[in-house]
A and B are shown apart, each in its own frame.
Chain A
């Protein structure tokens, strides 16, 4: 077993090495060419500069602690309790002033003058929050100004409560010594933009800065009427940025022939260019170039140039696959070597199911698995699970947890709690020498929960990992405060707890098989399209002259796919007109207006017909799972019907829908349609999708106003494959009659065989001698 695991790991890593070496090789060739043809391109922009750097615009960014990631207020309790808060500063900005306006409330028990909150910035004392007895119990606001010299790329503010009571000793009264820092407290950064060199070595900064925790916005600029040429490249770019943005959330405002105000990406072919690039020399190969905004020295533009659609695509693929080997302002792509095709389910952000995973693989830095303090922050490990794992009657996922901690000086109630998706699973007492090497005995088995494929989830006794979506395991250390008696020394407050990176999780052995359509899986991780992380199996159908909103929706969706997989999608294709060759054996994503019927003109209106008839069927025919739906959502069903009547007959309301159904061309392939009655509605749909709204599920989701209603209706089909025996059993599982007939017939067969055998034996023993 273990050799198998090692072998799997080896295969995976060798594949990775192959990829890396491929891209390194390819880009070194590419850069050689780039150097040579640099001249003309660079000259153009240096000539056209018409801006000043002397007087950079000053900007004040006010961020609440909530925006910095604090879900709730900071609760400090007891002496030396402390808490940390991090924020980053962007590469293209210089922070000239930083201050925090802290809103805090504290206990009247805290003694004047002795008690205070020490504030540290990057481990340097930055000031304190005063505690005055007469203001106790009500929110107090205090401003602290930071010395900008102490700021770096990533900063940490630490609050430490130094709490004493006037009367005698503090130890007995820890509970009364609390201080609460609101998450509405503000961090204000006064920043001044920095002019950056046009150099790919910073890339993807400044377009996307990993030290910036705020949602990302990257404007995309298109020439007019160039949808056919630019859309695919833009999609690749969107998924590329999405894969880097991770949890931040990313959107791509679309500008047609307009210069953006922020760092943006411009797509242009030799023939179709935005006006501001009219004079740029024609290119002879796929080209990517960093330039400065013509009107703003502090804003950068990424130009994606080429002769035609294919060139743009190539340029983007090259950027997506090899941005880390680029340098300089300019690169020309001569040819793109195909990297190894992706295997299904190998997205970097998804847990592999072919080997055992170390928790260390799921984090960015080792400190993420460490916590300190008496009541330290939760250690959280996030991951995605492929939603189509077949969990029916499986035995759960074994977790083997190893951990280390500062040993408490005597056995007390210190413990480590393990939570899955915010639900408590198991606690371990912290005793002994502080090392817990784990052993087979404490292999936790976390069940996988298939939430709501067919409606009601039945008896989930232990919290489980959710399929179709983000999961987290949380580890919470709690060290008991020593009760050392009155006025004796307290032990140091710095208790450490760490989860060993070698702790493992085992997702192997689950087949991929899933009932579709499942919009929840689509909303959460982009399934089924993201099954192949490069979207090689995906065809996207757009209207011929898509509205800006539709294009934005398209980009946002690809961005979220990228965020889900962690990989830029480079292999999908976009169709906006006939012929739809090759669409037959792919999963299809349709983005369009309900009223528009661009496709009906084509010879293949199958798709639209299928879609329309599906929606109609959904609404008008009696629903198969009537019992469930009518039991729990009678009102909403009615509402749904109304909504669709409106859509079909009036076509005026602001209504959108997500519809999933089986591809009319091929079994087991899926279609997801994102449709809206008016362009503006797309924004609603995509923002709900990006928020991974829980309201999206089933086969149809309707968006009206702020309301989202989902239905589990229409035909169910299955994607993936199962071992034949499991498939038979699964099919039999909801056909108890058939199953019992089968069991009975096997028993009957056994019976007959044994009976024959006995009769033969009796004959042998008693009668054959005659």
Chain B
């Protein structure tokens, strides 16, 4: 292909043209129009976007750019108007709150604009096949860092790692156990547990034939752990897997090829796939229906950043090239998101990264709200640290788009601050009469409303496949109040936050009101209170009706969001050793004692402990029977395992059967291979959720339904919590 811009002058010309266009564009967006003209312009734009959104032309590159340019124009007009026309000083308190709200909007807008650019055209990267000649293949070390997680979890992952399709002489698996370091084994409090873990781990490593590495001190958390292992090993490439990230067999086959193709490649990142719902999904009941929260980041964000060579290391399910890692002194450790920081450093050196959009690890989401928030707090603080300590705008060697990509990633994490302000802003006016947004109802209609709707349309256009409307609002709204202290903490002292491991695979043993509920409930109550106050003000101050109307609708919107996530605080018990996930495919079952009886059925769900399938109703199988199950996966491998029928029932014309693997311990590797070996399952799982996108109306209905459900659980939780506390208080007094 002949590209005229593949030289310096051409590129400079292109940049100059872009700069000029952007200037003209901003100038046009800043033109003062009458409110009526702006009204036409804004709503006209919205109309065009609505009509254009589903047209095929707008799914092509040129159409996509046009669409995003229109979006940028509408929101830029709003933002410039907001900046130059609505910031008016009316008193100290007003001014402080107004500035804060404006800052919040600034954050949202900045992220929005940068995202419009970053997401111009997500790269569709194909998988590069490995050469026939295996001697050319690089050697690969697999690092499975673990800290306090169950040995059992690591066991599964390590087993899966040994099963990867790759020449055995070029593959080394290491468990990097930080949980039984010398430091911990010598610590009087931890010693016994650490010794026990140490022994179990060593025994397990020996059994699997994988390397076991531990170190003296737990310095620099995960980064330190990895760096220590880097010193002790020598493979060309390093695959890093969190201890709960079970790789499918084809992982290396589908990723290593790019390292051979691109000599400057330092990273191939793959998406994380989670087999269990996160706390919010659990409460909303959307798991498997709606795309998961992380999907937008991995499936939309990373391919988009990949175009600009800015897809970054996400800590796990990624392969790094040792040579380049050594050049920058291993994994970085200045921030608590060592992964992104390392990638930033290597990008700065001019090396490339790649993202392959195929889920090939299967991991676990945090189970409880608290764990979920621990994880998010770490991401938030870490990314903000990157912003403060390693400002991507200031680091040399990065291209402009790379700077923008990294900036948008860290700027995004200020959302805790922004969302929180959006929650309280309207109540400030209703309850305290603070004037924080100076605009007439007409201007709101002409500027703010089209902007708001445009931003919804835009995010639906860009990410609709990976995130349903309102989900972002729920997730971010829920996190906001808890991330706010984290944000402030980083702002005050960027070096302070320390690494906290996300607890995974924990089980909730009893129903309880999350201890975090307090502040969130308080916020909801304040919003609830402001509704009748708004009604009262509507009646008493007719001249302020437009403002009151605006604020009241804003509060209602906030309430809907917070209701939808309210139920999350009422956490119900869940005891399950292994997560089941839905699968498809044929399965054949033989009775162990009578191999002539063959039943052809369809798989329904699968987990490490067992399998569920359905078949035409027949009397052949009975509860308690031992059956041999035979199935093919998409790779063509045949799995044959024996299982005991634990459950049998007839539903909708089919017999439904639940079995438990009988030789789990003896044939663990085979079970792992059957359950986790085929990445096509994860692809199917994602596609199942993504492609059947219901209509907007249905999603709206569902959202309202969710809000109602959330409110219900929230109130039940409150009620029970109150009752329990009263009871215990009562008994306490009675005893004394």
Co-assembled chains A and B: yes
Q: Give which listed residue, B14, B308, B309, B401, contacts A756 with CB less than 8 A.
A: B14
- Contact B5 A760, beta carbon cutoff 8 Å: yes
Whether A439 pairs with B120 at a CB distance below 8 angstroms is: no
Q: Does B121 contact A (CB under 8 A)?
A: yes
Residues from 283 to 323 in B contacting A, C-beta threshold 8 Å = 306-309
Asked if B32 lies at the interface with its beta carbon under 8 angstroms from chain A, I say yes
Give residues 720-748 of A contacting B (CB, 8 Å). Answer: 725, 729, 743, 746-747
Contact in complex: B21, A749 (CB < 8 Å): yes
A230 vs B18: C-alpha distance when bound (angstroms)? 67
Most buried by B among A754, A756, A769: A754
Given A753-B14, A762-B123, A765-B307: A441 and B88 within 8 A (CB)? yes
Which B residues lie within 8 Å of A760 (CB)?
3, 5-6, 11, 14
> Do residues A750 and B69 form an inter-chain contact, with CB atoms below 8 A?
yes
Contact call A758/B89, Cβ cutoff below 8 A: no
Chain A residue at minimal CB-CB distance from B90 = A441
A441 to B86, CA, bound (A): 11
A761 contacts which chain B residues (CB < 8 A)? 121, 307-308, 401
Choose the segment among B59-67, B325-333, B700-708 that binds chain A (4+ C-beta atoms closer than 8 Å). B59-67
Complex interface residues of chain B between 10 and 52 (CB less than 8 A to chain A): 11, 14, 17-18, 21-22, 24-25, 27-28, 31-34
CB distance from B213 to the nearest CB of A (A): 34
Q: Once the chains are docked, how many angstroms separate the CA of A380 from the CA of B309?
A: 68
Q: Contact at B120–A441, with CB atoms within 8 Å?
A: no
> With A and B bound together, what is the CA distance between A762 and B11 in angstroms?
14
Interface residues in B104-123 by Cβ distance below 8 A to A read 120-121, 123
Which residues in chain A, 408-447, are within 8 Å of chain B measured between CB atoms?
A: 439-441
Q: Is A767 an interface residue (CB 8 A)?
A: yes
Complex CA–CA separation, A770 to B126 (angstroms): 14
| A755-B65 contact in complex given A743-B28, A749-B17, A765-B307, C-beta closer than 8 Å | yes
- Residues of chain B within 8 A of A770, CB atoms compared: 261
Docked pose: A755 CA to B64 CA in angstroms: 10
Contact with B along A644-663 (1 / 0, CB 8 A): 00000000000000000000
Shortest distance in angstroms between A277's beta carbon and chain B's nearest beta carbon?
A: 64
Query: What separation, in Å, do the CA atoms of A755 and B309 have in the docked complex?
Result: 17
Complex CA–CA separation, A459 to B32 (angstroms) = 16
A753–B17 CB distance below 8 A:
yes
Question: Between A and B, how many residue pairs show CB distances below 8 Å?
Answer: 86
A766 at interface by CB-CB < 8 Å = yes
Measured in the bound complex, the distance between the Cα atoms of B715 and A592 in whole Å is 92
Number of interface residues of A (CB under 8 A): 31
Q: B262: CB under 8 A from chain A?
A: yes
Given known contacts A746-B21, A765-B306, A758 and B125 CB-to-CB distance under 8 angstroms: no
Chain B residue with the shortest CB-CB distance to A767: B1
Most buried by B among A440, A760, A766: A766
| A595 on the B face (CB < 8 A) | no
Question: B121 contacts A753, CB within 8 Å?
Answer: no
For the complex formed, measure the closest distance between the CB of B39 and the CB atoms of chain A, giving whole angstroms.
Answer: 13
Asked if residues B21 and A753 are in contact (CB atoms below 8 Å), the reply is yes
* Chain A residues whose C-beta falls within 8 Å of the C-beta of B121 in the assembled complex: 758, 761-762
Residue pair B261, A769 in contact (C-beta under 8 Å):
yes
User: A488 near B: Cβ within 8 Å?
Assistant: no
**Residue B653 interfacial (CB < 8 Å):** no
* A440 B61 Cβ-Cβ under 8 A: no
Flag whether B515 is at the interface (Cβ < 8 A): no
Closest partner residue, chain A, to B19 (CB atom): A753
User: Do A395 and B32 contact each other (CB < 8 Å), given the known contacts A746-B21, A750-B21, A754-B120?
Assistant: yes
Q: Report whether B18 and A757 are in contact in the complex, using a CB–CB cutoff of 8 Å.
A: yes
**When the two chains form their complex, are residues A441 and B3 in contact, meaning their CB atoms are under 8 A apart?**
no
A754 touching B65 by the CB < 8 A rule?
yes
Shortest beta-carbon distance from B125 to chain A in Å = 7
Question: When chains A and B are docked, how far (Å) is the Cα of A755 from the Cα of B307?
Answer: 13
Known: A746-B28, A751-B62, A753-B17. A758 touches B22 (CB 8 A): no
Partner of B1, one of A751, A756, A763: A763
Complex contacts, B65 vs chain A, CB 8 Å: 751, 754-755, 758
> What 0/1 pattern do residues 453 to 487 of B give for CB contact below 8 A with A?
00000000000000000000000000000000000
- For the complex, is A149 an interface residue (Cβ under 8 Å from B)? no
Distance of A761 Cα from B120 Cα, bound (Å)? 11
Bound complex: CA A749 to CA B1 (Å): 23
The answer to whether B131 has its CB under 8 Å from any CB of chain A is no
Write out the residue numbers on chain B whose beta carbons fall within 8 Å of the beta carbon of A747. 25, 66, 69, 73
Within the complex, what minimum Cβ distance (angstroms) separates A743 from chain B? 6
Known: A753-B17, A753-B18. A441 touches B69 (CB 8 A): no
Partner of B123 from the list A459, A729, A751, A765 (CB cut-off 8 Å) is: A765
Are B25 and A750 closer than 8 Å at their CB atoms? yes
CB contacts (< 8 Å) of A47 on chain B: these are none
Please report whether the interface of chain A is mostly helix, strand, loop or mixed according to DSSP: helix
B residues less than 8 Å from A439 (CB atoms): 89
Out of A459, A725, A750, name the residue touching B22 (CB < 8 Å).
A750
Cα–Cα, bound, A714→B577 (Å): 91
Across-interface contacts of A395 in B (CB, < 8 A): 32
Contacts A746-B21, A751-B65, A765-B123; A757 near B14 (Cβ below 8 A) = yes
> B91 interface residue, CB < 8 Å from A?
yes
Cross-chain contact of A754 among B18, B34, B88, B352 (Cβ < 8 A): B18
Contact with B along A542-580 (1 / 0, CB 8 A): 000000000000000000000000000000000000000
**Roughly how many angstroms separate A743 CA and B41 CA in the complex, as a whole number?**
13
- In Å, the complex CA distance between A760 and B3 comes to 7
Q: Which residue of chain B lies nearest to A761 when distances are taken between CB atoms in the complex?
A: B307
Q: Is A393 an interface residue (CB 8 A)?
A: yes
A168 beta carbon closer than 8 Å to chain B: no
In the complex, A756 Cα to B261 Cα: how many Å?
25
CA distance A31 to B380 in the complex (A): 86
Q: Is A759 an interface residue (CB 8 A)?
A: yes
Bound together, the chains give a CA A765 to CA B355 distance in angstroms of 11
Complexed CA–CA distance, A770 and B61 (Å) = 24
Question: Which residues of B sit under 8 angstroms from A743, Cβ to Cβ?
Answer: 28
Which residues 141-195 in B have Cβ within 8 Å of A in the complex?
Answer: none
Residue on B nearest A394 in the bound complex, by CB = B32
- Cβ contact within 8 Å between A746 and B262: no
A442 to chain B, nearest CB (A): 9
Q: Are A758 and B61 in contact (CB under 8 A)?
A: yes
For A755, list chain B residues within 8 Å (CB). Answer: 61-62, 65
Q: Kindly state the separation between the CA atoms of A750 and B88 in the bound complex, as whole angstroms.
A: 34
- Residues on A with C-beta less than 8 A from B61 are 755, 758-759
Taking CB atoms, residues of chain A closer than 8 Å to B401 are 761
Complex Cα distance, B89 from A393, in Å, reads: 23
Whether A441 lies near B1 (C-beta < 8 A) is no
Docked complex Cα distance between A428 and B89 (Å): 17
State the CA gap A493–B352 with chains docked (Å): 84
CA distance A668 to B5 in the complex (A): 49
Q: In whole angstroms, how far apart are the Cα atoms of A565 and B306 in the complex?
A: 69
Q: Return chain B residues, CB-CB under 8 Å to A459.
A: 34
Residues on B with beta carbons closer than 8 Å to the beta carbon of A756: 5, 14
Once bound together, how far apart are the Cα atoms of A767 and B120, in whole Å?
Answer: 19
Interface residues in B390-424 by Cβ distance below 8 A to A read 401
For A760, give the chain B residue with the smallest CB separation.
Answer: B5
| Cβ-defined partner of B91 (8 Å) among A441, A725, A765, A766 | A441
Considering the complex, give the chain A residue whose CB is closest to the CB of B68. A754
Q: List 20 contacting pairs A-B, 8 Å CB cutoff, sorted by A.
A: A441-B88, A725-B27, A746-B25, A750-B18, A750-B22, A753-B14, A753-B18, A754-B18, A755-B65, A758-B65, A759-B3, A760-B5, A760-B6, A761-B308, A762-B121, A763-B1, A765-B306, A766-B123, A766-B126, A767-B1
> Apart from A750-B69, A758-B65, what 19 extra A-B contacts exist at CB < 8 Å?
A441-B90, A729-B31, A747-B69, A750-B22, A753-B14, A753-B18, A753-B21, A755-B62, A756-B5, A757-B14, A757-B18, A758-B61, A759-B3, A760-B14, A761-B308, A762-B307, A765-B307, A766-B125, A769-B261
Report, nearest first, the 6 A-B pairs whose CB atoms are least far apart: A750-B21, A441-B90, A440-B89, A769-B262, A758-B121, A760-B5
Question: A: which residues have CB within 8 A of B?
Answer: 393, 395, 439-441, 459, 725, 729, 743, 746-747, 749-751, 753-767, 769-770
